[in-house]
Amino acid sequence: MKIIIYASQYGSTKQYADELSKRTGIEAVEYTEVSDINQYDTIVYLAPLYAGSVMGLKKTLNKIRDVQDKKLIVGTVGLADPNDK
């Protein structure tokens, strides 16, 4: 089974998760609402990147009993000026 899990502060990541869900037919669920993550063999995790940290990822990973048995795909959403150094 597959699932798209997302964290979203302002709604942008939710939009990406919803669009990915629509295109793939895979259910999208907010990370705070996932009840039994261990039933899924493929987990797509989408979240914003803030100060080098992926929102909610640590809490989500802590819910998984055996990460080695899972295919985990992580995508981040962020905004930065490409001219900043």
pLDDT, one tens digit per residue, over 36-54 is: 999 999 999 999 998 889 9
Closest CA to 5 of 81, 65, 56, 69: 56
Whether this model's pTM surpasses 0.85? yes
Q: Averaged over 7-27, what is the pLDDT? A: 96
Q: For residue 28, what is the enclosing H or E element?
A: strand 28-30
Q: Output the CA torsion 34→4→31→37 (10° steps).
A: 40
Q: Residue type at 63?
A: K
Domains in the chain (CATH in brackets) are 2-77 (3.40.50.360)
- 65 pLDDT exceeds 80? yes
- 32 pLDDT exceeds 90? yes
Q: Residue type at 20?
A: L
Which residue in the block uniquely carries the two structure tokens 């100060």? 51
What is the pLDDT at residue 33? 96
DSSP type of residue 47: E
